Structure 1
């Protein structure tokens, strides 16, 4: 395993778009300046053994960047997914890198050495070319998140236009704190999949305004399914991540509030449900009590 150091990382600049950064740059910005050290980087050449068999060109890091460093001086690990490679899909290698990084952080936490974990989601879910292998490793990621959050908050960030879907949307939902931008999207199935399977009468995947009303970052935060709405600014997102760790582990994670959410789902009228009614039903005091705090909006 090689380490790539970055002892002279530049300081934040005003209004630097987080969305426009690559996964490697995002990982760097989520850590204290000058502390970024990449694990299993592109020079290690750990690539998918399955993509070449299907005439698909590999990427040297398989689309997942793992970095160690610190956040507010506390040891941290960041896993950032690269949407520019195969839509951020999770295959055997990229998923194993993320799962292993979280499991190593868990080992440190169990020994009393806290490591702060952050996952920058930008993924459509499992890589279809690796199917079952990808699904299996996503399950390992989810298990690691659940184990880690007993010791330290697990912070997720969904910022970019690809969003977070499929099995990785479940991983995001397991995080202790979930930070989103207005541009980010979160859902089990993407709009194109819903249109393909249920028809355009169910959802028109080209209706961008409607899609963001349903699953965009602003809607998810207002509905209590994410915790902080942050502007597309690298410094603002880094500040939100720091604040999430200061807030600590919530008394009850969303995924543990099963009865709470089942009761809310039972009150939905499918024929009349709207984005506004979802906000009214899922947002507010009832969801906040499940999370142990209020939904917040990070301003400039």
Structure 2
């Protein structure tokens, strides 16, 4: 099958488009015909070797953890999905090797859910990792409640844009940091935008003089100190970007695959609670360009790659 892969750590230049071995489908896995996959910052951090302490790499590595596609073969122990079912997945295993930037991926059952029927394959591919991250942090870790004030950093980005929508759905007041050009976008998600950078603390205090009840940090660094100083009594701080959050009394969180959580997200998408914004789509063979764009760090919503099966099948 055709795929994007890399045989050594490095920048986008190590990515190659070509033939790789077809994936084997274990008893508890599902072979998915990939229609779209999405780019996440963790993908290029893994490609550069920054996650070597967490994940062993079996080169060549096919990158990518997000996918939307169609079931073509369930494993022998799988009864939850049939051939032809449309699915989404956060296909993360405990090693780097067989990712989603390929024509097919063997996805463990624990990583899959049914695709929201109202989303395109491109939109659906952007949901799993960022959606699960936002859902698990807000619902399970921060335990956001109705009437609370939540601060979301990088509110126009992948995780941030979903977090704003989910927090608003939970009944919270949401303040989101974003650049000036993205303020209307954040308002459309249900948040109150503030410009990040110098003076952020004062700007947030102007909106929430008593402080905020919960913070979801997606950027790390100086944002952690600012966030800690903005917390109301009993306020909670979680970062998905910087383990240094523990020095401020907060918690670091790394998203995990969870089929039940992902199915709940799919349902929220079908209800219109969660909308996915795709900023740009690239064909699979141009995945390196998709990564380059993502690494600039100014993406609104998600960047996806697509597999053109119509061309393949004609």
TM-score (norm 1): 0.28
More strand by share: 2
Higher relative contact order (CA 8 A, sep 6+): 2
More helix by share: 1
